[in-house]
Amino acid sequence: MYTVARFLIGQEQLSALQAVGEKMNAVRPGIFQGLRSRGDGIAIDVADGSRWDDQSAAIISFVRELKEQIRTARRLGASVTIDVAVEPEDAGRIPLVLRQEPELMQELASEGIALEVSIYVSSTT
């Protein structure tokens, strides 16, 4: 599994969002690496690993530590999504259960952050 925080915004606010990303580096040095290649916002690495409990804890920590920057981005008009990508090797485990604890849901909801889970499967062609 691999989790990113995606901040998408219109072109007119892109430079202001970039400044927010740079302020994130003051909290977690090196977390902001620049604008997305699509030119529509920024993506921040949150967690990498195969255990959901670790992913969930990392998401909570991210939201708590960067709450002010997340709020600033939302005031600019950015949509903020936590995107959990489940890789084929993770999806192949039976069962795959991603349980959202109330603490995680509360942190996301309180900041207006969406949760997206993308499950990738390997093709057999």
Nearest to 82 by CA among 38, 40, 45, 34: 45
**Helices 102-110 and 52-65: angle between axes, nearest 10 degrees:** 30
What is the model's pLDDT at position 53? 86
Mean pLDDT of 67-73: 98
**Secondary structure (3-state) at 113:** coil
What is the model's pLDDT at position 125? 52
Q: Kindly report the backbone phi and psi dihedral angles of residue 92, in degrees, each rounded to the nearest multiple of 5, phi listed first.
A: -75, -15
Q: Which two tokens stand for residue 91?
A: 């999806």
What is the model's pLDDT at position 97? 64
**DSSP summary character for residue 85:** E
Q: What is the pLDDT of residues 9-49, one digit of tens each?
A: 999 999 999 999 999 999 999 999 999 999 899 999 999 98
Q: How confident is the model at residue 70 (pLDDT cuts 50, 70, 90)?
A: very high
**Secondary structure (3-state) at 84:** strand
What is the model's pLDDT at position 120? 81
Q: pTM (2 decimals)?
A: 0.87
Question: Minimum mean pLDDT among 32-36, 77-81, 118-122: which range?
Answer: 118-122
Nearest to 52 by CA among 87, 24, 80, 6: 87
